Chain A
Amino acid sequence: MAKKPETLLEVRDLKMHFPVEKGLFFKHQTGAVKAVDGVNITLQKGEVLGLVGESGCGKSTLGRTIIQLLRATDGTVVLGGENLGKLTGGRLRRERAKFQMIFQDPYATLNPRMTVRDTLAEAMTAHERIPRAKLDPAVRELMAKVGLPASAMNKYPHEFSGGQRQRIAIARALAVKPQLIVADEPVSALDVSIQAQILNLLAQLTREMGLTLIFISHDLSVVKHISDRIAVMYLGKIVEVGPTLQVVEKPLHPYTRALISAIPIPDPDREQLRQRIILSGDPPSPIDPPSGCAFHPRCPYCIEPCKGRPPILVQYVSHQLAACIRVGEI
Chain B
Amino acid sequence: MPLLDVRHLTTAFHTRAGIVRAVNDVSFTLEKGETLGLVGESGSGKSVACYSLMGLVPQPPGRIESGTALFDGLDLLHNDPTRLRSIRGKRISMIFQEPMTSLNPYLRIGDQLIEPLLIHEKIDRKTAVARGIAALEEVGIQDAAKRMKSYPHEFSGGMRQRVVIAMALITQPEILIADEPTTALDVTIQAQILELIRSLQKSKGMAVIFVTHDLGIVSNFCDRVLVMYAGRVVETGAVRDIFYQPQHPYNRALQKSIPALQPKGKELYTIPGAPPSLTQLPPGCPFAPRCEFVVEKCRETPVPLLETRPGHSSACLRVQQGELQLS
**A binding-site residues for B, Cβ under 8 Å:** 54-55, 161, 163-164, 191-197, 199-200, 203, 218-222, 224-227, 244-245, 258-259, 261-269, 271, 276, 278-280, 282-283
Q: Report the nearest A residue to B140, measured CB to CB.
A: A280
Complex formed: what's the CA distance from A251 to B13 in Å? 49
Interface residues in B197-222 (C-beta closer than 8 Å to A): 213-221
Residue among B219, B243, B268 making CB contact with A225, cutoff 8 Å: B268
Chain B contributes a number of interface residues (CB within 8 A of A) equal to 45
Q: Are A264 and B192 in contact (CB-based, < 8 A)?
A: no
Residues B186 and A54 in contact, CB atoms below 8 Å apart? yes
Q: Given A245-B264, A264-B219, do A196 and B270 touch, yes or no (CB 8 Å)?
A: yes
Instruction: Indicate whether A200 sits within 8 Å of B267 (C-beta atoms), given known contacts A218-B186, A267-B219.
Output: yes
Please name 11 further chain A to chain B contacts, defined as beta carbons within 8 Å, in addition to the given A193-B271, A258-B188, A263-B216, sorted by A numbering: A54-B186, A54-B189, A193-B275, A196-B271, A218-B186, A224-B260, A224-B264, A245-B264, A266-B255, A276-B191, A282-B159
Do B189 and A282 touch (CB < 8 A)? Answer: yes
Instruction: Assess whether B268 is in contact with A196, with CB atoms less than 8 Å apart.
Output: yes
What's the nearest-Cβ distance from chain A to residue B220, in Å? 4
Chain B residues within 8 Å of A276, by CB: 191, 195
* Distance between A312 CB and nearest chain B CB, rounded to angstroms: 24
- Inter-chain contact B41/A163, CB cutoff 8 Å: no
Q: Please report the C-alpha to C-alpha distance between residue A271 and residue B188 in the assembled complex, in whole angstroms.
A: 16
Please tell me if B274 contacts chain A, counting CB pairs below 8 Å.
yes
Q: Is the CB of A266 within 8 A of B187?
A: no
Contacts of B158 in A (CB 8 A): 282
| In contact, A196 and B269 (Cβ under 8 angstroms) | yes
> Which of A55, A203, A268 counts the most chain B CB atoms within 10 A?
A268
Residue on B nearest A274 in the bound complex, by CB? B220
Q: For residue B241, give the distance in angstroms from its CB to the closest CB of chain A.
A: 10
Contact B240 A268 (CB under 8 A): yes
20 contacts between A and B (CB under 8 A): A54-B188, A192-B213, A192-B254, A192-B258, A193-B271, A193-B275, A195-B259, A199-B259, A224-B264, A262-B191, A263-B187, A264-B214, A264-B217, A266-B219, A267-B261, A268-B220, A271-B219, A278-B195, A279-B188, A279-B192
In the complex, chain B residues whose CB is within 8 Å of the CB of A244: 264
Q: A193 to B254, Cβ gap below 8 A? A: yes
- Picked from B188, B254, B268, the residue with its CB within 8 Å of the CB of A199 is B268
User: Which residues of B are in contact with A by a Cβ distance under 8 Å?
Assistant: 41-42, 156-159, 186-192, 194-195, 213-221, 239-240, 243-244, 253-255, 257-262, 264, 267-271, 274-275
**B residues less than 8 Å from A218 (CB atoms):** 186-187
Q: Tell me whether A278 and B243 are in contact in the complex, defined as CB-CB below 8 angstroms, given that A163-B274, A200-B270, A265-B219 are known contacts.
A: no
Q: List the B side residues contacting A163 at CB < 8 Å.
A: 274
**What chain A residues lie within 8 Å of B240 (beta carbons)?**
268-269
Once the chains bind, are B267 and A266 in contact (CB under 8 Å)? no
> Which one, B220, B267, B269, B271, contacts A264 given CB within 8 A?
B220
Distance (whole angstroms) from the CB of A203 to the closest CB of chain B: 7
A225, B217: Cα distance in complex, Å: 19
Q: Flag if A266 contacts B260 (CB, 8 Å).
A: yes
Residue of A nearest to B243 (CB): A268
Cβ contact within 8 Å between A54 and B274: no
Rounded to whole angstroms, the CA-CA distance of A224 and B230 in the bound complex is 30
Tell whether, in the assembled complex, residue A194 and residue B274 are in contact, meaning their CB atoms are under 8 Å apart: yes
- Expressed in whole angstroms, the Cα–Cα distance for A150 and B189 within the complex equals 44
**Of A195, A245, A279, which contacts B257 at CB under 8 A?**
A195
Instruction: Give the complex CA separation of A197 and B269 in angstroms.
Output: 8
Shortest Cβ distance from B222 into A: residue? A268
Q: Which chain A residue lies CB-closest to B212? A: A264
- Shortest distance between the CB of B326 and any CB in chain A (Å): 16
Knowing A192-B41, A196-B269 are in contact, say whether A221-B188 is a contact too (CB < 8 A). no
Contact in complex: B216, A262 (CB < 8 Å)? no
In the complex formed, the residue of A with least CB distance to B272 is: A197
**Assembly CA distance A267 to B242 (angstroms):** 10
Of A191, A197, A200, A262, the most chain B CB neighbours within 10 A belong to: A191
Chain B residue nearest to A191 (CB atoms) is: B41
